[in-house]
Every structure is written in structure tokens, then in C-alpha cells.
Amino acid sequence: MSSISFHAPGVPAPQGSKRVFRGRVVEQSKRVKPWRDVVTQCAAIAADAEGLLGPLTPPYAVDLWFHIPKPRTTRATHPVAPTIGDLDKLVRSSLDALTKSGLIQDDRFIIRISTAKAWAGVDGPGAIIRVTEVTS
């Protein structure tokens, strides 16, 4: 069972709603593209470091740990503010980036996801992502 893990630094952004603008479908949030670009680049670098010549063999298990920057004025013990984003939307934007990077063939081949979000510590905001080939 082959596995690749990497850290994607930056502020995780949720993939939200889309709207039609001048005949094109565009993402509502301006934070999504930079986040997806970071995850795409980090996944490609990790794959190169492992000598991977193509995508991992499906199916996949994916673990995602999101580290969210803590606002200065909050008493919340967990990152649940409306501006942070739903966990499922954070996952969507990250999985799309894994597909774009070429690390996985398509996110439809993911059969198991484990995910969590917490306040960022000394390492700063970002995500730790692990993709594992699932064998029978």
C-alpha cells in the first residue's frame, strides 16, 4: 500500500457556491483558487519527491487535517465561525486540487475520507494531507 503525505501551507479556503458571470460559471469566493493552487503545487512536489510517474493507483483513502488561523477576538475553542467554512467545503476544494495535481486520477475514486479542523499552532495555518492507495 503506497502512501504520500505533504503539508500545504496557507489559509484553507472552502469551495463554495458558484455564480454565472458574463456567460461563465465562476467561484463565489476569491480565496479558493489560491488555496487550490497551493495544494496542487505541494501535491506535485510530493509526488516528484517520491518518484511517482503518474497518479497513484485507485481506489484511495484520504486524510486531511486543516489548521485554521485563530482570530484575535474569539472565545471559541474550535474553528466553527461562519467565515472559516464548512468542513465538507474545505474538503471539496482540496480534493479538486489533488486531481488537478495528477496525484490521483479523479476524486470519484476516493472510498474513504478522514478529516478534521483545528486552530493553527506554531507551524501556522495550512493542511496536512495524506493519500493512500487502498488494496484489497
All domains in the chain, ordered by first residue = 3-133 (3.30.1330.70)
Q: Taking the CA of residue 126 as centre, how many other CA atoms within 13 Å lie in the half-sphere pointing to its CB? A: 15
What would the grid cell of residue 87 be? 468542513
Collapsed DSSP state (helix, strand, coil) of residue 8: strand
Q: What b/e string do you get for 84-93 counting C-beta neighbours within 10 Å, with b at 16 or more?
A: bbebebbbbb
pLDDT given for residue 25 in this prediction: 66
At residue 27 the predicted structure's pLDDT band, cuts being 50, 70 and 90, is low
What would the grid cell of residue 81 be? 465561525
pTM of structure: 0.88
Helix (H) or strand (E) holding 94: helix 87-101
pLDDT given for residue 57 in this prediction: 94
Q: Are strands 60-68 and 24-27 parallel, antiparallel or unpaired?
A: unpaired
Collapsed DSSP state (helix, strand, coil) of residue 11: coil
